[in-house]
Each structure stands twice: as C-alpha cells, then as structure tokens.
Chains A and B, each alone.
Chain A
Amino acid sequence: MPKDGGIGASTKRREDIRFLTGNGNYTDDINLRGQAYVHFLRSDVAHGRLNKVDTSAAEAMPGVLRIFTGADFENVGGLPCGWQVTDRFGEVMQEPGHPVLARGKVRHVGDPIAAVVAETYAQARDAAEAIVLDIEELPAVVDMKKALEEDAPLVHDDLKSNLCYDWGFVEENKAAVNEAFEKAAHVTTLELINNRLVANPMEPRVAVGDFNRSTGDHTLYTTSQNPHVIRLLMGAFVLGIPEHKLRVVAPDVGGGFGSKIFHYAEEAFCTFAAKALNRPVKWTCSRSEAFMTDAHGRDHVTKIELALDAENNFTAIRTDTYANMGAYLSTFAPSVPTWLHGTLMAGNYRTPLIYVNVKAVFTNTVPVDAYRGAGRPEATFQLERVIDKAARELGVDPIALRRQNFITEFPYATPVAVEYDTGDYHATMDKLEEIADFKGFEARRKASAAKGKLRGLGINCYIEACGIAPSNLVGQLGARAGLYESATVRVNATGGLVVMTGSHSHGQGHETSFAQVVAEMIGIDANMIEIVHGDTANTPMGMGTYGSRSIAVGGSAMVRATEKIINKAKKIAAHLMEASEVDIELKDGRFSVAGTDKSVAWGDVTLAAYVPHNYPLADIEPGLEETAFYDPSNFTYPSGAYACEVELDPDTGKVTIERFSAADDFGNIINPMIVSGQVHGGIGQGIGQALLESCVYDENGQLQTGSYMDYAMPRADDVPFYQVDHSCQTPCTHNPLGVKGCGEAGAIGSPPAVVNAVIDALQRSGRNITHIDMPLSPSRVWQAMQG
C-alpha cells in the first residue's frame, strides 16, 4: 500500500475545496479597478471584402471609450504560427498572415472586424451595432476538395492556392508501399470523415489586459493552458513587448482540452488596448462567440487502405487525408495532421510499410487546431476501423486479427519514425477481455433482442505518443519552440517547500499529484508542499500543459530539481553530523549516517540552509532552492484496449452505450483516482464525438451548430458508468518516474470502439452496412438502415 500522499495513493484533491465552495479564482472572477469592457464586432459572412468600417456614429454612443479597427494594428505583428511543416517536395508550407483585427478581408464567420471598448459591456455591445460595415460578400470555400479546385476562390489573395501543404510521410517509402499493395493477398479500403468538433471547455475564454504607465509593465490575465507560451508569442511576435515587461497569468482555468493552448487575437487586443487607454480592458467570451472563435478540432477526410498477406499479416498501410486548417493557421495547427498523426499510423501493429499523405487546406471556417488527442484520435480511428472492416471481409475474429499483428518486442522502431520504448498489447487485451466480460455478451445480446433491440460489441486498441517532446527532434520537424518543461523547488527555512512549475493545471489535479511525487522523494507530508503554477511572474519558463505531457515532462523536471535539493541537503546534513556526504541517507524525512544511529531531521537541515551558523559556507551557498529544465529524450507511448457495447433501436436509429471498458497501460501511476478521472473524461468526449458532436457549416460558410441548441454535448444520461483499469503497467524507460501520461487516452481510444460496436450490431442483424460517419446520430443510423 502506498503511503497516503505518496506515489501510488489515491490522495483526495486539495484544489477541490476552493472549487466546491465557490472560491475558485477563474479569469472572469478577476475585476480590476477602472476596468473597461470590450465587445468585438465580428463578421457574419464567411468571406468578404471589407470595403469600409464606419465607426463615427458608434463612437458617439454612451460610454464608448474608443473603437479599434484593423488599421490600429498596422504597426504590430500578426498572430504567429508555431510550427512550420515542409511538404513532400521540400517546400515550406504556405503561411498566411493573421491580423489581430481583420484588414482588407474577412475570412470566416466570427472574424473580428472592430473592437468597441466602453464603460460597460452592454454599452460596448450597443455601440457595436451602430458601426456601419460595407462588406462585399465573396463566394466562400467550405468543402476541402472544392477548395483545391483550380478556380476555387482564394481564402488568402496573396497565396497561390488554398493548399497549405501536401505532406508525404515517409516519402521515400512511397514506392515500396505501392509495391506491397500490388502484391497483397487482400486489400481493405475505407473512406471516412473524422468529424469537426468544438472543444467546449465549460469555462469560455476570458482576457483581462492591464498596464501600469508608471512602470511600463503589462499584465494579461487569460484562460490559457500555457501562460509562458502566450507571453513569448504575444510579446515577441505580436506586440513587441519584452518578456520582462510582460506578465501573463492563467489562474484557475475551467478546462482546456487543447483549445486554450493557442494564442488568440482577443489576448493581444486586451493587452494592447489596456496600454492605449491606460485602463484595464476585459473581454468575456459568450458561448455563442466561443463556437465561432475557439479553434475547432479534427475535421479530416480520409481514405485508408490496409494490405494483408495470405496469412492475414498486415503488410502495408496507405492513407490519403485532407485536413482542414480553417481560414488562418492557429498556433500549432500544421503539426496536428502531420507529426501528431502520421507518426501514429503504425498503431499497435507490425506493419512494415506505411505511407501517409496529408493535404492541409484553407477554408472559410474557424481555424482548426489541437483538440484532446490532436492527430492521434484521427490516426487511431481510421486504423482501428479499417482493421475491423478487414476482419469482417476476411471472416476472422477482430481480436485475433489484432493479436496476430501486435508488436511484441520492445524497443520497436516503426516505419513512421518513432521508437516505442515499452508496451504489452496482449496484456491490455487480456485485461480488457476480463473486465468487459466478453463471455457474457451473447446472453446480453439475446436479452436486447427480446426487447426488439440490436446489440453490438466493438473493440479496438490504441497507441499514442505523449510527453511532447524532445526539443532537438521537434525542431527538425518544424516546431518553432522547445518542448522541455521546468520546475523550481524552493525550500523554506522551516522545511515546507514550494514547487513552481511550468506545467499548468486546468482540471488535471497537479496541485495534488505533483505534491505526492515530492513528498515521496523527501519522505515528508504532502501538506508541506505547495504547487504553484500559472503565473509567469513566479514560475520558471515552461511550455505548459497539453499532449498528456505534464507528469512525464513537467513531473520529470520537478524530480530533477528535487534531486538537486536532496543532494545539497545531504551536503548540509553531512556537515551537521560531521560525516561524509556519501554516507548520508534520506528516509522518511530524516537524514542519517549509514551504519550509525546519527540522524538529523529534514527541518534541521532546511533551517541550517537559511540560518547558516554551522554550515559549510566555504563549499556551498546558503539557501535551498533549485531549478531544473527537463527535455525528454523520446515521446512516451501509452497504449490500451477498449470495448464498447451498444444497443440500437432499429425503429428510430438511436444508439445507447450499455457498457464501456478500458484497459490502459500508462506505465507507473502517481494518483490512480486522478488517472481514472482523466480516462473517464476522455471516454465521455470520445463517446461525444462518436454519437453526438459535430460542428457543421453550410455551403456558404454559415455555422449551423452555433450553440448547445444544435451542437450536441454529451450529458449524464448519454453515458454509462465506465469500467476502467490501468493495472497493466510497462514503465516508461526514459523518464525518472516511469510515467507515460493519461490525459488523452480516453478520447483517442473510444470513438472506434463505439463505431465498431454499432457496425457490429447492424451486421449481426443481417444488414451489410460497413461504415457510418460520425456522429452516429439516430437520423444517420436510421438513414443507413434504409439502404
């Protein structure tokens, strides 16, 4: 049994108390003295030439302080893209500008045209209606394939086409892959759409800009997963504010799921306007506004082919994907369909030859970027769907076909450029068979049939690459940032300590689980440890939280910094006990001299560090504070096997999830309760993608799903209790905690299980339906059943 508060314990979350009592401090809870409010006037057409923006009447409206338009931002930079992809011909991607406020053209519904700052939010909104716009509407491009046609309207007039890049991976393998398909005994082909989603953290985005004219200091409070990244991008590329004069604070943040990674125009605007007006400026996004401004996710159109030999071994995979970028390149958009997608195409299988082609396309829609899983759900979905289809075509058991092709020896270098360090895919599948009760399925199917319902069972595996990422590697791949993480451990004189981490918690429970790690290492009570995050003023430069990286990368940095603390503390302890440093042992918060009964407490050493009366001042400095930056040497590779059982009402097409089971391998686990919670949440979102959610534009680029009235969010009665297990643990070999990360697994692993289950139910009822595109809404399922 792990000690409460140590590694492996399901310690209750300390952050819960403030959230449960209404004492959280979210960005919208921050109100600064003298604060003004901004409302953005946004384009209601998808594509248009902005001939004139007449603000004169609006400026005379009550309470209006100033109205800003694109012209006010001519001397500042645009919103930068943080990743440059090189295409299969060796050319860099087409990279359009992204102004803070639209200039010349509007390119999607929601593109900001003017910003009205007023004494109250209502006054700002009232005045915005008095702005007179002259917009010449242009034909919109929405469909990606049409956007690439010769005569398609250009989203950006200064680009030669709407193609951002045409990426091939691994280009050198293309011929060999094609040859393998020619020799294949069987080829299974599947065309599918990975539906466009909206992340929808329950807290909408908020930004409050502040400026101190007497010091020249800027502060931005924002709903971000990575305040240092915002400081770097906004300071260096948009507004030209040096980092020492710019503080970015991301306080309590109400969920992110990727959508709060990116630097958004409203953050730059509030920072800029606060200086221009010498007043704090606040923007609170409404949910309706969020639908047309938060970066969307997914939106891939894919054809995947799987080649098998006569013994049903996978011999090659070939994929052809169109990936929607939207109207502008969001911060990490280019990386999602490429390096976060193509590299995962081997999945859990020994497929020797793989070729992935991705065409990234500009359209008159909201920018698309990372959403929980980011590229990996898209890879997993197509792979696990095509394998299921192949099993059906070949008349073999889908589990047996997967098992036959599992990678079993590690480390394993895939043909798509990554090396899996550890894993045991048979073990997670064994565990899944146990917890999902496959043996009982037939009886449950009969019970469903007795009620006139169809029942189906779907399974799939997944692999993901987390812990992004080795900086030197991602640099070669086009990242314009390093992807290390940082931690400073500051020990106080009386023995308590503060960990200042560059990771950011917006629901993941870092304040609890990070403290558990340090408590375990030193052997002190976790309550003596405070975790500080989210403020560039008091945390070391860090890259933030996304890609299931916090414990694997941020946790490793914290371990390294704590190791430095322990090493120094041992020197002090050795001095206090007049012993040799090499003989000092730390256990349960006490330093002892090996082989003797001499010991000093943790608190004696920390006190000595700050009251260095009896101290080796000639050898070491007073104080006990250390910083570490950790740059991982590889990604981590969580994996697992998921099963879903559905019931389908053939009269209405409605699918209900009856059982959902997940067997994951996350390596070592810090807090099992938190890990399970992460998996539950991911599964909930995955079920949402599979059955409910879809962001839809009409052919004119009007958003059809602009609120919860039309965008179907999963509710409590859409999902069952989930059976999750993470007892299969193959520790990561290259980070100090042996951890892999668990934040995205549920969202990656669950959509194919759901769809496989629905197809299974339909097939068992004698209907030859091989695929239905997500979401499998009642109307779509019913339509498919009509033949």
Chain B
Amino acid sequence: MPEVKMTVNGKPASGQIEGRTLLVEFLRETLGLTGTHVGCDTSQCGACVVHVDGKAVKSCTMFAAEAEGAEIKTIEGMAEPDGTLHPIQQAFQDHHGLQCGFCTPGMVMSASALLAENPTPTEAEVRDYLEGNLCRCTGYHNIVKAILAASGQDVSRIAAE
C-alpha cells in the first residue's frame, strides 16, 4: 500500500492507504481524529467538512491520496492549545448553536471558511453558504445567529432565546 504524507493541524502526519481510502477515513481511522464525522454518502450533509490548504472541503468526497503534501485543518485544530475555544466555537456555545453535536464540526469548519472569505456576512449569505451543511436539531436558527455573532455583528435583536 502506498504511503501518504500531509500536515494535519500543524503536525506532520503519514500513513499507509489504499487508492480508495477517503480523506475522512484517513483522518478518523489512521490518525484517530474522530471529530470529523460522516453523515451521508452523497456528499450533501457536510458533517465531514475540513480545510484543505485553507479551503472548506468535504473529506468524504476526496481521496487521501489527493491530500498528499496538503495542509489539513480539522475541528481538533480549531481551539488554542490551552483549550481556549476559537471565537466561532465560543459563539456556538454562547448562542446554543448545537444540540446533538454531530453536524457541529462541519458547521464550525464551514463557518470558519465563510468568515475568512466574507468577514461580515448578511443573514442570507450565511444561510446560502450553509447549503452543504445539514443540521437536524436546531432548525438552523441558532447556528445562523452564532455565525453572525462570531463575525462581530450585533445579534441581540434576532428573536431571542
């Protein structure tokens, strides 16, 4: 089996793979980074979103071999080493943007990609950007609110609690 090498959350990572090994399988099974989830098999739910060279990608729809030499960032790499949450993670907690937590890693990674591209998105832009991230718990209300809050916008007038 060929070997693949990449950088994951700032650290070198490598492992044996098959041609058919998906990036998400490499992350979860080879590296034990189980924060990235698999919620569908048609590339729609977005629970598996990670950053590849700074861009949001569905790690269930990319082969590990294609990540050779790439910089990967997963949910495990978002908080500070001392445990301080990333502002997006903190906003999700502050605004109850998660319930069961299964879609959450993908949501946070997508939100992070959005705010990198568009630091102060409108509500409509947030909703549009989340087209590839399904959540079944929150009705999206508090996810959208948390992302707007993470962008530094005032969300106090959005239908409260």
Contact = CB atoms under 8 A, between A and B. Distances in A.
Q: Are A and B close enough to touch in the complex, i.e. CB under 8 Å?
A: yes
Interface of A: 10, 12-13, 15-24, 26, 28-29, 31, 122, 200-204, 252-255, 257, 286-288, 506-509, 672-677, 680-685, 687, 707-709, 713-717, 719, 721-724, 746
B137 interface: yes
B96 A287 contact: no
B39 A203 contact: yes
Given A24-B102, A508-B99, A673-B96, 15 more contacts: A16-B93, A19-B100, A21-B78, A201-B100, A201-B102, A203-B39, A203-B102, A204-B38, A287-B39, A287-B41, A288-B41, A509-B99, A680-B140, A682-B139, A707-B40
Contacts of A201: 100, 102, 136
10 contacts: A21-B78, A22-B75, A202-B45, A203-B100, A287-B41, A685-B139, A714-B140, A719-B140, A719-B141, A722-B141
B158 interface: yes
A436 to B, nearest CB: 11
Contacts of A724: 159, 161
A680 B138 contact: yes
A204 B60 CA distance: 15
Contact of B139 (A19, A506, A680, A717): A680
A155 B26 CA distance: 44
A787 to B, nearest CB: 34
A14 to B, nearest CB: 9
Given A12-B93, A673-B161, A713-B134, A21 B100 contact: no
B94 interface: yes
Given A676-B161, A683-B139, A16 B41 contact: no
Contacts of B29: 31
A288 B160 CA distance: 37
B109 to A, nearest CB: 10
A5 to B, nearest CB: 15
A202 B39 contact: yes
Interface of B: 18, 20, 28-29, 33-42, 44-45, 47, 74-76, 78-79, 83, 85, 89, 92-94, 96, 98-105, 108, 123-124, 126-128, 130-131, 133-145, 158-161
B99 A24 contact: no
B22 to A, nearest CB: 11
A193 to B, nearest CB: 23
A19 B98 contact: yes
Contacts of A204: 38-39
A20 B94 contact: no
A20 B108 contact: yes
A715 B29 CA distance: 29
A202 B101 CA distance: 9
B35 A716 contact: no
Contacts of B89: 20-21
A17 B93 contact: yes
B144 A721 contact: yes
A717 B131 contact: yes
Given A254-B102, A721-B123, A22 B76 contact: yes
A507 B141 contact: no
A16 B96 CA distance: 9
B102 A255 contact: yes
Most buried by B among A18, A257, A676: A676
A29 B34 contact: yes
B35 A22 contact: yes
A22 B34 contact: yes
Contacts of B127: 715-717
Contacts, number: 197
A675 B161 CA distance: 8
A552 to B, nearest CB: 19
Contacts of B161: 10, 672-673, 675-676, 724
Contacts of B99: 255, 507-509, 677, 681
Nearest to A674: B96
Contacts of B36: 22
A713 B137 CA distance: 12
Closest 7 CB pairs of A and B: A22-B35, A684-B139, A19-B101, A254-B102, A507-B100, A507-B99, A22-B75
Contact of A677 (B33, B45, B130, B142): B142
B98 A16 contact: yes
Given A707-B41, A721-B123, A21 B136 contact: no
Given A20-B92, A707-B41, A680 B142 contact: yes
A284 to B, nearest CB: 8
Nearest to B102: A254
A722 B93 CA distance: 19
Contact of A253 (B100, B108, B139, B159): B100
Contacts of A253: 100
B159 A721 contact: yes
A681 B139 contact: yes
A247 to B, nearest CB: 22
A507 B158 CA distance: 23
Contact of A719 (B79, B136, B139): B139
B101 A252 contact: yes
Contacts of B131: 715-717
B131 to A, nearest CB: 6
A708 B137 contact: no
B100 A684 contact: no
A686 to B, nearest CB: 9
Contacts of A252: 100-101
B151 to A, nearest CB: 15
Nearest to A746: B139
A617 to B, nearest CB: 45
B105 A685 contact: no
B8 to A, nearest CB: 12
Given A22-B105, A254-B100, A717-B128, A200 B136 contact: yes
Contact of A507 (B28, B79, B123, B137): B137
Contacts of A721: 123, 141, 144-145, 158-159
A31 B29 CA distance: 9
A27 B78 CA distance: 23
A20 B44 contact: no
Most chain A Cβ neighbours within 10 Å, of B33, B76, B104, B141: B141
B138 A715 contact: no
Nearest to A255: B100
